[in-house]
Structure 1
């Protein structure tokens, strides 16, 4: 276990800084020091994840970026490509409370959130928390449960709390749901409601590994699962401090407008019946800040937005019937929008 660094506390929020880039020298030094520590810690987490899911570093990068943005991750692909392994690798890399839920058609909402149990000895009800009362919640095959059960996560993911029998209970922080799902055309699946898809910060597709990565997997897992040797490289408290630091990464007005232009274009695209929500704009900027910090920068570039747009926006969109029949995909639509949206001429960092 590596020693955990003490992260500095900033005294000003990023949006409260002067627009000309001027910043208090003490805050600038604290942010720079914090970014250095963030790069070191996240590199350890990514290395731990990549030791299990080899040959696909972009998966680890996006997973850690969503973690720092205090978001939720949806991993979608066919069975057997490592969706659950990726989720477990992240959970084992962070020393915090982890809960796992195997979604099935007979799962009830109370199986997720918890239930009040009557104690005859005290003549009182006692709340028994469910698996959502953990820092990292792994939802395996989330779209095999009924829509009623899936919707039990809506309040948890958006408000960080759950309500049982009229009483609200706060969830621990950090709180991240890492859910896996099979393609909707497979047997025994229910499509996720639009409201729930919108609460997932990003969606990634694992995909099949290339030949070299699959050969490495065969060598590593011939005798023992690599998850068995994976040890925590950071703590939940450190992740929470890092997430607070990410909020102070600077996004210029031009970059914010670029985010709005990309997201806004989905609401007018002829191939889409439903465009991205304002929540998509907020989460795209948050993940872009996290990605910039992981890259060692104190400011966001349009490149950060471009690289993340498909992962953050595409799963929120709904195609028109004509576009779907023509073979159009939401990923393709977002890629087209990014290519056509003018990039800000200059996006300077802080001075």
Structure 2
């Protein structure tokens, strides 16, 4: 890959690179370019993604295609009620030849980790991901192990299946930068999908168009994206509104504020922009905030968090450029 240096064309080059990654990923997940781009933005923001969606819409396929387009190693962990923390992190095994314990790494020691149906595992197993997702490291038998600096978790859960599931606690939900929904394809895209009879063949057709070097460069651009004072004030006004809305029991925390800013900067890079606009903030607000607010009990069954957030966006004054 190219050895990039900082210049006025960096953000256009970043946009072109993201377009290439999206195009390759879209070979296996048709008509969902915006979801792919949001997933890339979460990666560039060093965050994690929770796909809250029904089975069969292409969550695993999207993740596999994205990992292949960037040349990253990929591991899928199927979460089940009998899954134990050691099945994720790894375990120490006694070696009779050396009379010592040696650590055998679990599947979490990968770059892209798909935690499939994460809400089917017990809270104890779910919590095994917490340290890894927040600190990029794990501790096993008092031994500390660092994970790949590009470690990226994509969790999935089925919002319609309640029997035999353990809802993720707020502390773990907060570890996900974004919650995304793929949804059904439209008719034309599903018509094209009918003729993709061999999924594995299409995965093989995804070409590597980026590298870890490119991802590091893009992450560096995210840090240099400009956030004007009036846009920062706009972000704070949106956050304050979630804390004062009567339907909301628990509004956005300071960590959520920082998550929105970081996601907006990363999404700006995917659009080839070197600044955060109010429109960019609005585009990432639902994916970043929807799983972080808790509604008052009387509203839980009658209204969705996204509806309240859309009302807040409509109410809060947008700053003039």
TM normalised by structure 2 equals 0.95
Q: Say if 2:13 and 2:272, in contact at 8 Å, map to a contact too.
A: no
| Residue 31 (structure 1) shift | 4.7
Is 1:338 aligned to 2:309, yes or no? no
Shift of 1:34: 2.5
- 255, 267, 274: which is aligned to 1:298? 274
- Tell me if structure 2 keeps the 8 A contact 1:140–1:180: yes
After superposition, the C-alpha distances for 1:221-260 in whole angstroms (9 at most, x for unaligned) are: 3686522322322112321221122111111121122112
Residue 291 of structure 2 is aligned to residue 315 of structure 1: yes
SS in 2 for 1:247: helix
Structure 1 residue 175 and structure 2 residue 151: aligned?
Answer: yes
Matches within 5 A, 1:251-290: 251-290=227-266
Q: Provide the residue aligned with 1:42 in structure 2.
A: 18
Question: How large is the Cα RMSD of the aligned pairs?
Answer: 1.6
Q: Secondary structure at the match of 2:8?
A: helix
User: Which of 4, 8, 14 matches 1:7?
Assistant: 4
CA distance in 2, matches of 1:223, 1:68: 27
5+ long unaligned stretches in structure 2:
none
Give the C-alpha shift of residue 96 in structure 1.
2.0
CA contact (8 A) 2:177 2:259 kept: yes
Q: 2:46 aligns with which of 70, 80, 95?
A: 70
| Equivalent position of 1:18 in the other structure | none
- Structure 1, residues 7-31: CA drift from partner, whole Å, max 9, x if none? 22xxxxxxxxxxxxxxxxxxxxx25
8 A Cα contact 1:263 1:313, kept in partner: no
Q: Distance in 2 between matches of 1:118 and 1:97?
A: 28
- Counterpart CA distance in 2 for 1:32 and 1:95 is 27
In 1, Cα distance between equivalents of 2:197 and 2:7: 41
> Within 1, Cα distance between the matches of 2:36 and 2:161?
27
Q: Which moved more, 1:273-282 or 1:152-161?
A: 273-282
CA shift for structure 1 position 336: 0.9
Aligned residues: 321
Q: TM-score, normalised to structure 1's length?
A: 0.87
Cα shift at 1:128: 1.3
Match of 1:221 in 2: 197
Residues 295-349 of structure 1 show CA distances to partners (whole Å, capped at 9, x for unaligned) of 1111110100001100110011111111123x11101111111111111122xxx
Counterpart of 2:115 in structure 1 is 139
Matched, 1:115 2:103: no
Indicate which of 190, 194, 198 corresponds to 2:166: 190
SS state at 2:31 partner:
coil
CA contact (8 A) 1:137 1:178 kept: yes
